[in-house]
Amino acid sequence: MNALADAAFTGGTNGTCLEPPRLHAYFVHQLFWTWVHTLEVSGVSMGEDGKEKTIPLGRVTSAPFSFINLQEWRAPDGKLVIMSHQDAISTVTNIYVEDCRKKAIATVSEQLAPSSSAVSQYTIQNTEGDIIGISTMSRNFGTEVDINDQRTGKRLVTVSKGWGELTDAWSATFRDGEHESLANEPRVLVMLLAAASAAGAWGLGG
C-alpha cells in the first residue's frame, strides 16, 4: 500500500469504517481497458509552500449490468470505504450512500443537466430527509456547479467536470474554513463524483 494513502485513512478497526482525510480537493478519473467501470480516486492537499500534493486513495468500481448502479469505493489495501446505489425517477436520480456496514449516511438527488451543461444540479439530504446542501446554477460554460450550505447559503464545495489535463475526470474542491457537514463530507462527495462519471455506462469499463 502506498505510504501516503496508508497515512491518509483513519479508523477501519474494531468494527469501524475507514475515514478519508478532509483535503483541498478530491477527483476521480476512469481507468480504461477494464471489464467493469473503474475509477481511480485521488485526494489533493496543499503544502505550506502552496504546492499541490496528490494522494492515491483507491478505486471505485461498479457492478456490471446493475439496475441499481451499485458502486463501491475501496482503499488501496482493498478495504471497503463506502458504497452507493441508485434509482432514477424521470429526470431525477437518487444516490443512496451507505457506509462499510451498509448503514445509510446520505441521499444525493441529481437533477439531470440541460444539454448546454456538463454538470447536474444536486441536493444532499440526511437520513431524516432534511436538506443539508443544495447546488446553484452551473457556471464556467456549464462545467462547474457550487454546493451551498442549506442553512447559511455559503458555498461549501465546487463540483467540476475535469481536473487539470484530465478532461474526463470529475472533481470536488472544498472551500477552506467552513464547518463540517454532509454537504462537504469527502465520502459523500466521492460517491457523487463516481455516479456522475458512471452515468450511462451500465457498470461496464471502457
> pLDDT at position 87, please?
86
Q: How far is CA 158 from the centre of its chain?
A: 11
For residues 52 and 163, the answer to whether their CB atoms sit within 8 Å is: no
Tally helices (H) and strands (E) across the chain.
Answer: 2, 14
C-alpha 154/C-alpha 171 separation (Å) is: 19
Please state, as a whole number, how many other Cβ atoms lie within 10 Å of the Cβ of residue 134: 18
pTM score: 0.88
Q: Tens digit of pLDDT per residue, the chain (206 long)?
A: 444 544 579 998 888 999 999 999 999 999 987 888 899 999 999 888 888 999 999 999 998 776 668 999 999 999 999 999 998 666 788 999 999 999 999 999 988 766 556 678 899 999 999 999 999 877 877 789 999 999 999 999 999 988 878 888 999 999 999 999 999 999 999 999 999 887 644 445 54
> pLDDT at position 50, please?
81
> pLDDT at position 202, please?
44
End-to-end Cα distance, the chain: 26
Nearest 5 degrees, angle CA 182-CA 129-CA 71?
Answer: 60
